[in-house]
Structure formats: structure tokens, C-alpha cells
């Protein structure tokens, strides 16, 4: 991919227009330069008397190409950017603010609950195929699944003012849930290799 470049308009009387997928620079009615939009990072206007068509402003806003106005002493005195870029800044600001209010801890609980729900679904998937062939393993997996349901309830019952107050509680529940999933995997692997049945008579599986 070609490196992005800047289009510099530094002469009085230049006119910038859009032509298909290119920006076209004219001087006294003659084409002096054409630049594909895909190769363009920004447009720098460093001279007075430069004209830019509304089509150029529109396409640059849509493609995220800044149009920057620079004075003779090198200072930026104007900039045109697409609304999507402004929206990105607002989104980042709201994300930072959410760390200090109730949105942060509600999102933190929701993300952790989704993760545990996925773990529960995995265990349920493996358990359904062992209900007949390995009843003891099925019961073990079902018990793990029910405990994960309890973890989700405990997670959603956590109260706080911001994510910092409840971070350790969330991590604790996540850790215990991960251990349940790991225990389920170990039970499945042992059962698959005939290890889970070793010593079953006269002994009990540790849950």
C-alpha cells in the first residue's frame, strides 16, 4: 500500500475540486496536479486566495481527510474535520468519565457476567453428551454449571459507586468461575482417557 501523503496548496489562485476518486488542483484553468483520495492523509492550505469546492469538503469529511489552513508564519488558524472524528473524541471522553460513575461498574459486571455465561454454556454443552455414558461426570458438570449460575447472581448483586470499588470482587468471582470451568475440562479429559473411572468403587469424586 502506498504511503499516505499531504496535498499542499501554496499559491494564490489555486482551485481544488473533486473528480471521480481524485482531488484535482487547477491554476488559471489548467490542471497542475491530481491526487487519488485513497493516498491522501490531509490537505494543507498555506496561501491566501485558494478556493476549495463544496464537493471536496464533503468527500474529505466522509473519508477522514483533514483540511488545514496555515498562516504565513506557520500557525494553524483553521481546520475542517469530519463529524465522525469529533464523535470519536466524545466517545473517548465518555469512556474515561464512566470509570468514575455508575456506568463503569455496571459495564464491568455485565462484561464479567457475559464471560461466566459463556463458561456455563460450554459446560452445559459437554454435559449433555455424558448424561447416559457417564452419569457421574454428568452430575459433576451439572453441579459446576449450577455454581456458575450462582456466581452470576452474586456478581449482579454487587453494589458500588464506581468500578474501582468493586474491581476486586469482580476479579474474585471471575477467578472462581474460571476454576470451575478448568475443573470441568479436567473431568472431561480424565473421562475421555479412562482415568476418571479409576478407583471409583469405594471412593468418591472430590467436587
Same-domain pairing of 144 and 63: no
pLDDT for 13 equals: 94
Separation between Cα atoms, residue 18 and residue 16, nearest integer Å: 7
Asked if residue 81 and residue 116 are part of one domain, the reply reads no
Q: What is the DSSP-derived secondary structure letter of residue 53?
A: -
Domain tally, the chain: 2
Q: Residue 26, class by beta-carbon neighbours within 10 Å (0-12 exposed, 13-18 middle, 19+ buried)?
A: middle
3-state secondary structure (DSSP) of residue 33: strand
Look at residue 76 and give its three-state secondary structure.
strand
- DSSP secondary structure code for residue 38 in this structure: G
Whole-number Å distance between alpha carbons of 103 and 109 = 10
Instruction: Report yes or no on 198 lying in a domain.
Output: no
Tell me: do 135 and 48 sit in the same domain: no
In-domain check, residue 204: no
Q: Mark whether 113 and 177 lie in a shared domain.
A: yes
Which residues of the chain register pLDDT less than 50?
Answer: 1, 192-207
Helix (H) or strand (E) holding 66: strand 66-70
- Which pLDDT value is given to residue 51? 95
Residue 75 φ/ψ region, left for φ over 0, alpha for ψ in the -120 to 50 degree band, beta for the rest:
beta
Per-residue confidence (pLDDT) for residue 91, from 0 to 100: 58
CATH code: domain of residue 152:
1.20.120.920
CATH assignment at residue 60: 3.100.10.20
**Signed CA dihedral, 40, 45, 49, 54: sign only:** positive
> Does residue 199 form part of some domain?
no
Answer positive or negative: Cα dihedral of 75, 77, 81, 85.
positive
| Helix ranges restricted to H, the chain | 54-63, 83-98, 102-128, 135-157, 163-192
- pTM here is 0.44
Range of the domain at 105: 95-192
Q: Is there a domain that residue 203 lies in?
A: no
Query: Are 74 and 126 members of one domain?
Result: no
Please tell me whether residues 161 and 107 are part of one structural domain: yes
Same domain assignment for residues 72 and 101: no
- Can you tell me the distance from the alpha carbon of 99 to that of 92, in angstroms, rounded to the nearest whole number? 11
Residues 104, 78: one domain? no
Q: Are residues 61 and 109 in the same domain?
A: no
Distance CA(75)–CA(68), nearest Å, equals 10
180 and 116, same structural domain? yes
pLDDT score of 92: 60
Q: Are 67 and 34 in contact (CB under 8 A)?
A: no
Which pLDDT score is estimated for 113? 87
Domain membership of residue 54 (yes or no) is yes
Phi–psi pair at 65, nearest 5 degrees: -100, 115
Contact partners, residue 138, CB within 8 Å, separation at least 6: 127, 130, 131
112 belongs to a structural domain: yes
Amino acid at each position: 500500500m502506498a504511503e499516505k501523503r499531504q496535498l499542499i496548496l501554496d499559491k494564490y489562485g489555486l482551485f481544488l475540486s473533486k473528480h471521480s476518486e481524485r482531488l484535482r488542483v487547477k491554476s488559471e484553468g489548467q490542471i497542475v496536479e491530481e491526487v487519488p483520495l485513497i493516498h491522501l492523509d490531509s490537505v494543507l492550505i498555506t496561501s491566501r486566495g485558494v478556493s476549495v469546492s463544496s464537493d471536496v469538503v464533503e468527500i474529505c469529511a466522509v473519508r477522514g481527510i483533514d483540511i488545514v489552513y496555515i498562516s504565513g508564519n506557520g500557525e494553524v488558524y483553521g481546520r475542517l474535520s469530519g463529524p465522525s472524528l469529533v464523535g470519536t473524541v466524545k466517545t473517548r471522553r465518555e469512556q474515561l468519565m464512566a470509570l468514575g460513575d455508575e456506568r463503569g461498574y455496571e459495564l464491568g459486571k455485565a462484561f464479567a457476567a457475559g464471560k461466566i455465561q459463556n463458561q456455563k454454556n460450554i459446560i452445559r454443552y459437554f454435559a449433555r453428551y455424558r448424561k447416559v455414558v457417564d452419569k457421574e461426570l454428568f452430575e459433576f458438570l451439572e453441579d459446576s454449571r449450577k455454581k456458575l449460575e450462582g456466581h452470576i447472581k452474586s456478581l449482579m448483586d454487587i453494589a458500588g459507586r464506581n468500578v474501582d470499588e468493586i474491581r476486586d470482587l469482580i476479579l474474585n468471582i471471575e477467578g472462581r468461575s474460571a476454576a470451575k470451568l478448568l475443573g470441568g475440562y479436567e473431568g472431561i479429559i480424565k473421562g475421555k482417557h479412562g482415568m476418571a473411572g479409576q478407583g471409583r468403587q469405594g471412593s468418591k469424586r472430590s467436587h
